[in-house]
Chain A
């Protein structure tokens, strides 16, 4: 597990094992969400490409 520095108010110290695990858990979740958002955007782009529409045209179509 990587080492992290954490700050509590004005004190900076090394993270404990548990704290480091929490940081990595949240970072992994963020990465998964970013991947999901990227996949969603790619899927949207693929559909628009298939339909031959721009983002603006699709937005106008959907009202």
Chain B
């Protein structure tokens, strides 16, 4: 293991190998929980244990500006633990396998831990794809939208316009039969009205559009799975609020969907597909 002559002292003579080794940080490997000592200043500690371990930080061991690097190469999570010194951090103090971080002392009894690699927590909703709709298109197909990664999806389309007031139909893959859908809408100041799709060629009211806006907000349940796919939608425009739900009566696995206006064309806006995290 290369070691540097750190700390340098007055009158010391550096050899070539010592000078070269200043580019190598001294390292030690610990296979069990460990309490930092003064000799660890300016070094890198590899933690390598199959079980959970701790690195304990005590006061009056280090001076301000001392630094200790910590890498965890073992399966067991290493946790940076405040002993008699304080350990502050904007991130987690748990260091997963192949995670790392730097412990910097601001005073003899105070340190800051800055993780450089951590295990991220999956968010509930993950953006899968973004499709910018072109000009005067009669349909838009998004491929690669569904996969085994997620069971359920959210699809939104906003920011575009239609050539006239239309409903937005949705189909999965190339399937144009067996769509069922119940749709209710409430004209502002009016009363509830409804319409249904009974073994139709699409989910005919998945969204809507007019010359000022597009709106589509659908949850799609299990389109990739080989069982029936369900849809739930909710939306609104300048004249009514609406909601719908239905299903596709087959067991086909789908990776793509198509949005089609009930007449005319669509221009602009963005179709976004999100996956609901399974766990």
Contact = CB atoms under 8 A, between A and B. Distances in A.
Interface of A: 4-10, 12, 15, 19, 22-23, 25-27, 29-31, 33-34, 36-37, 41, 55-56, 59
Interface in B211-254: none
B139 A4 contact: yes
Given A4-B139, A6-B139, A7-B141, A29 B190 contact: no
Contacts of B142: 9
A5 B262 contact: no
A31 B169 CA distance: 12
A12 B134 contact: yes
Interface of B: 131-144, 167, 169, 171, 176, 190-191, 193, 195, 197, 200-202, 204, 260, 262-263, 265
B195 A10 contact: no
Question: Chain A's interface: helix, strand, loop or mixed, by majority?
Answer: helix
B143 A8 contact: yes
Contact of B193 (A7, A9, A15, A41): A41
B143 A30 contact: no
B139 A7 contact: yes
Given A4-B139, A12-B134, A30-B262, 10 more contacts: A5-B137, A5-B265, A8-B141, A10-B131, A15-B139, A26-B201, A26-B202, A27-B262, A31-B262, A36-B195
